[in-house]
Structure 1
C-alpha cells in the first residue's frame, strides 16, 4: 500500500471519528434532555373542575385519572346523572389538557429527533430515538 493511500485512509478515519464524536455528543445531550423530560412527565398532574364545580379531577401525563374530589354538597346540588355527566366532561377536558401539556414537554425532543438521523440508521442495532419518542407520546390503551 502506498504512503498516500495510508494517509487517505487515516484522513478518512479521522473524519469519521470526528463525525461520530459529534453524533455521540449530540446523543449524550439528548439522553440528558430525555431524563429531564421523563422526570417532568412523571411529575405532571393536570386538574379539571366540573362545569358547576361539583367535582375536581386530576390526571397524570398519560391522561389516567389519579384523583377525583367531589364537593361535600354535590349530592344536594345535583342528581347522580348530572354528576356523572359533569365528571365525564371534566375527565375528557383533563385528558385533552394532559395531551397538550405532554406535547409541550416533548417538543424539545421532537425537534431534535426530527432534525437528525435516527441512531439506528447510522449504527445497526442501536436504539431508535424516534421509537422512544413515539412510545412517550402515546396514551395507554383502554382496557378491553
Structure 2
C-alpha cells in the first residue's frame, strides 16, 4: 500500500509539473509568434554580389543583386552566388528562430517525458531528436546534393 501511495504521489507531481510547464508555455506563445512573424534575416554570397532576405522559416522574401552581378559574370557564377546567399540567409534564420523559441524549448526540456508518466511508453524526446536530426539543413542539403535536380 505504501508503494502505491508513493507511486501515486510521484505521478501527481509529474502531472502538476507538466501542467505548470504548459501554463508557462501558453504565456510565452503570443510573444514568440509575433517575433517569428516579424523576423527577417539576410545572407550574402561570398563575392557580395547577391543578398537574399528570408523570413523566420527560411522562405525567400527579397533578392538583391549588386549592379556588377550581371556584368562579365557567367550564369553559373551568378547561380552559385545566389545559392550561397540563400544558404547563408537560411542558416541565419534557423539560428534566429532557435533563439526566439528558446523559452519554449527550455520549458519543454524541463517537463516530464511520456515515459516518465507511463513506464514503457516511448520517449517523446527521443522521437523529437530523431525528427530534428532528419530535418536539419545539413541533412536536407546532403540529401539534395546526393540527388541534384537536372536544371539544364
- Which whole-Å deviations, capped at 9, do the CAs of 1:91-113 have from their partners, x for residues lacking one? 11111121122112122111111
User: With CA pairs under 8 Å and 6+ residues apart, which has the higher RCO, 1 or 2?
Assistant: 2
- The 10-residue stretch of structure 1 (35-44 or 83-92) with the greater mean CA deviation from structure 2: 35-44
Query: Deviation at 1:23?
Result: 5.9
Cα separation, 1, equivalents of 2:36 and 2:43:
18
- Alpha-carbon deviations, 1:15-65, whole Å to 9, x = none? x7xx98876554333212122111111111110112222121011111111
Normalised by the length of structure 2, the TM-score is: 0.60
The residue that corresponds to 1:86 in the other structure is 81
Cα 1:22/1:33, change in 2 over 3 Å:
same
Give unpaired runs (5+ residues) of structure 1. 1-15, 123-129
In the superposition, relative to structure 1, how do residues 23 and 89 fare at CA in structure 2: closer, same or farther (>3 Å)?
closer
* Deviating 4+ runs (over 4 angstroms): 19-26
Taking only aligned residues, the RMSD between alpha carbons, in angstroms, comes to 3.4
TM, length-normalised to structure 1 = 0.63
Q: How many residues are matched? A: 120
The reply on whether 1:70 has 2:69 as its aligned counterpart is no
Partner residue in 2 for 1:56: 51
Larger radius of gyration: 1
In the TM superposition, 1:8-87 aligns within 5 A as: 26-87=21-82
